[in-house]
Amino acid sequence: MDTISLENRTRSAALFEEAKNYFPGGVNSPVRAFKSVYGPPLFIKEGQGCRITDEDDHTYIDFCCSWGPLILGHNNAKVRDLVTETVAKGTSFGTPTRLGNELGKLIVNNNRYIDKIRFVSSGTEAVMSALRLARGITGKSKVIKFEGCYHGHVDSLLVKAGSGLATFGESTSAGIPRAFAEETIVLPLDDRKLLEETLQKYSDDIACIIVEPVPANNGLLLQDPSFLECLRLKCYKYGVLLIFDEVISGFRVGFEGAAGYYGIQPDIITYGKIIGGGMPVGAYGGSHEVMSHISPDGPVYQAGTLSANPVAMAAGYAALKQLLEPGFYEGLEAKTKRLADRLQAFALRHDLPMHVQQIASIFWLAFTRDRVVRADQIDAASMEHFKNLHRELLRRGVYLGPSGYEVGFVSAAHTEQDLDEAASIMEKCLHMVFKTSK
């Protein structure tokens, strides 16, 4: 394969310079800005199967998959056909539609962990709504979250821990009043003693605990299932609601998400990404009792003009129907594990400081020899390895999200031949990166 130099990304570079005139930093989401890696961001004009093509006509095997939702790959024919058919009838009505019913029925009838759902337009909106619901049900205001878990750009959750082990959050973004951040208590993942102490002290004020059951926004910080079971038991004990943020893990680790994967019943679950089939959709759900608090049935108000937009419902329905096909998740996990095992074996064979973490069709390259389970175990200096790796992968036609803290996704469109090709390229690039760094 011919290598792609930074100089050969001239159209993407020109478009990025133009974009700076219109958008802050030239992007509409900061993760797209390539701040942590080399060169201008790629401007993509087309995606087919597991590959994307940029404006300079370079093609890449894609492991970003639009940050996770494209579990079927790019431009899936069944999704495209139903979306096209739906668009021909109109794009938005501000009314209920049959497609909304069909997608809602498909999800609820195949998920033992929710009785009802409410569609929204993003994962952040789903989390925001879930927090309001938890506060409305309990009459309490504070939230426990965990270091290394990201829950969208909700004001009270854009926080980090302070100097103590258990502290009220400090804002990580300008524009968030201190009082908002102080409604959040930040704990380390899987510190059960500290969790117990915090609940004993503050449970009269805590509405909910929110966690990514598969933390996949700050590396892939896979937790021992007993920690999630501990959260469930502590929430029962102290009268606190448990929210699983499954915006990434929902429909990715299985149709019932991490709740089904681990067999744990949360009080509220948030979804996003995959249920939109590539369109902007989110949702939150729970039991009949929990969801009865949502307006118009109950006093917790939440609304959205584009919620359950028919085009998004069509894309989601066409996508999720395919996920229910027998063997879908088993085959996808087997392919991903094969890729992860091959890369891990390469690292061991060449004594590279790298550990490949994987669950279902999600993987992450951690530049350490040890399994990483907490955010504070990630050495920021190791991200220089990822920066160099990302550059070499792009030169050879493999695309990962432009940050070493981001995970990779395998789709149904990745064949074993595609994955073998990508693995060979990744091995070559890893060899180059670590040979240069010595």
DSSP codes, 359-378: ETTEEEEESSSS---SGGGS
- Cα–Cα dist 81/318, whole Å: 9
Q: Mapping DSSP to helix (H, G, I), strand (E, B) and coil, where does residue 413 land?
A: coil
Do residues 28 and 83 share a domain? no
Catalytic residue among 245, 271, 317, 335: 245
Do residues 271 and 415 share a domain? no
- Helix axes 416-437 and 328-349, enclosed angle (nearest 10): 30
Do residues 10 and 121 share a domain? no
Domain boundary among 271, 305, 323: 323
Q: What pLDDT was estimated at residue 437? A: 59
Catalytic residue among 142, 145, 273, 335: 273
Domain boundary among 323, 357, 392: 323
Q: What pLDDT was estimated at residue 177? A: 79
Do residues 95 and 193 share a domain? yes
Do residues 170 and 225 share a domain? yes
1 within a domain of the structure (yes/no): no
Q: Taking the chain, what is the end-to-end CA distance rounded to the nearest angstrom?
A: 26
67: domain CATH number is 3.90.1150.10
Both tokens of residue 76? 């899936």
Do residues 67 and 142 share a domain? no
Catalytic residue at 245? Answer: yes
273: domain CATH number is 3.40.640.10
Strands 355-359 and 362-366: antiparallel
286 within a domain of the structure (yes/no): yes
415 within a domain of the structure (yes/no): yes
Question: Going residue by residue through the chain (438 aa), what tens digit of pLDDT does each one get?
Answer: 567 666 688 999 999 999 999 999 999 998 898 999 999 999 999 999 999 999 999 999 999 999 999 999 999 999 999 999 999 999 999 999 999 999 999 999 999 999 999 999 999 999 999 999 999 999 999 999 999 898 988 877 877 754 333 445 566 778 877 888 889 999 999 999 999 999 999 999 999 999 999 999 999 999 999 999 999 999 999 999 999 999 999 999 999 999 999 999 999 999 999 999 999 999 999 999 999 999 999 999 999 999 999 999 999 999 999 999 999 999 999 999 999 999 999 999 999 999 999 999 999 999 999 999 999 899 899 999 999 999 999 999 999 999 999 999 999 999 999 999 999 999 999 999 998 655
Catalytic residue at 193? Answer: no
Q: What pLDDT was estimated at residue 438? A: 53
Do residues 42 and 183 share a domain? no
- Cα–Cα dist 401/319, whole Å: 23
Specify the number of domains making up the chain: 2
- Cα–Cα dist 251/119, whole Å: 15
23: Cβ contacts below 8 Å, ≥ 6 apart:
none
- Cα–Cα dist 251/78, whole Å: 18
Contact 408/16 with Cβ under 8 angstroms?
Answer: no
Token pair 């064949």 is found at 415
Do residues 23 and 137 share a domain? no
Domain boundary among 300, 323, 346: 323
Range of the domain at 355: 6-75+328-437
pTM of structure: 0.94
Q: What pLDDT was estimated at residue 167? A: 45
277 within a domain of the structure (yes/no): yes
Report the DSSP beta bridge partners of residue 283. 119, 271
311 within a domain of the structure (yes/no): yes
Catalytic residue at 351? Answer: no
Catalytic residue among 150, 262, 284, 317: 150
